[in-house]
Amino acid sequence: MLRLIVARLIGAVPTLFLIVAAAFFLLRLAPGGPFDAERALDPDVAQNLRRIYRLDRPLAEQFWLYLVSLIEGDFGPSLHWRDFSVNELFAKALPVSAALGAEALLAALLIGVALGLAGAGRETGLGARLVDGAAFFGVVLPAFVVAPLLQLGFGLTLHVLPVGGWEGGAWRNQILPVFTLALPQIAIVARLMQEGLRDALALPHIRTLRAFGLPAWHIQAHALRAAVLPALSYLGLAAANVLTGSVVVETIFGIPGMGRYFVDGALGRDYTLVMGTVVIVAALVVFFNLMVDIGYAWLDPRVRDE
C-alpha cells in the first residue's frame, strides 16, 4: 500500500512538469502581452517593465527561472495587479474556492450515494423512476441556467437566501452556489451508484451469499462494497469538473474565489497568474486522483497487489 502511494506520488512529478511546460509555452504563443493597453506604452517604459519582470530574457531561461521559483513555492508577482504577488492573491481566494469545491464534492457524495441507493430497487419502482428523472435534469441543466433560476426563486421571490456575495463565507451565502456546483455531480454519482448496486446484486458471489442463507444486511454490505468502486473512480473526474465548474458559479454569484483569476488572468495575459492557477488546479486534480487510487486499493485487494 505504502509502495503504491509512493509510486503514484513520484509518477505525479512528470505529469505536473508536462502540464506546467505546456501551459507556459502555449501562453506565450498567444498573441499580445501583459503590458498591452489601449494606448501603447512609451517604448522605454515597456522595455523597463519587461526587464523588471525578466520577460526580456530568452524563453528557455524564463521557463527555468519560473520552475526554480515554483520549487521554492513562489508563484511570482502578478503582472496585472502589480501591487500583489500571485501568492498574496491566492492566499485570499484559494480558501474560498476550496470551501466551495469541498462542500460541493461532499454534497455530491452524500446526496448522490443516498439517491443511488434509494433508486437501486426495481427498475419500474417509484424510487428508480424518481432518481432517473432527477439525474436526467441534473446532467442536462447547465449551471448558468440553474443559478439564475435559484437566484430568482430563493432570492428575489421568497427572499430567504441572498442572490450573491460571499460575506466571508456565511452559510446562507454558500447554499445556492454549492448546490449549483454540486448538482451535475450529484446526478452522475447517483446514476453510478444505482447501476453499480444493481449490477453488484446480480454478481455470482452475491448468489453464493444467498445460497448460504445469510441475512439481507450482510448481502447488502457485500454488494455495496462492489458497487462503490465505479462511483469512487468517478470522484477524481468529479473533482476536476467541480474545479472548472466553479469558474462559472463564482462569476454568477460574485464570489471572490480563484475562478475570476482564471478568466481575468487569461484575458489580460497575466502570465504568472494564469500559470499559478494552472499549477494549483493540476496539483489538485493529481491529488484527487491519488486519493481515488488509494481508496480503490483499500477497497479492492486485487488493485493493491498490482
Residues that bind other proteins (CB under 8 A): 3, 6-7, 203-205, 207-215, 218, 222, 225-226, 299-302, 305
CB of 30 to other proteins, least distance (A): 38
The closest of 100, 92, 125 to 242, measured between CA atoms, is 100
CB of 189 to other proteins, least distance (A): 20
Nearer to other proteins, 32 or 213 (CB): 213
Nearer to other proteins, 72 or 305 (CB): 305
Residue with cell 497575466: 270
Alpha helices, DSSP H, located in the chain:
2-29, 43-52, 59-71, 86-118, 126-140, 143-150, 171-201, 204-211, 216-253, 259-267, 271-299, 301-304
HSE (side-chain half, CA atoms, 13 Å) at 1? 9
Nearer to other proteins, 168 or 204 (CB): 204
Instruction: Name, in order, each residue with C-beta under 8 angstroms of 187's C-beta and a sequence gap of 6 or more.
Output: 112, 134, 135, 136, 137, 138, 139
**Chain length of the chain:** 306
CB of 99 to other proteins, least distance (A): 34
CB of 235 to other proteins, least distance (A): 18
CB of 225 to other proteins, least distance (A): 5
Cβ contact 194:234 at 8 Å: no
SS (H, E, C) 83-126: CCEHHHHHHHHHHHHHHHHHHHHHHHHHHHHHHHHHCCCCCCCH
Nearer to other proteins, 163 or 209 (CB): 209
Nearer to other proteins, 140 or 214 (CB): 214
CB of 123 to other proteins, least distance (A): 11
Nearer to other proteins, 92 or 210 (CB): 210
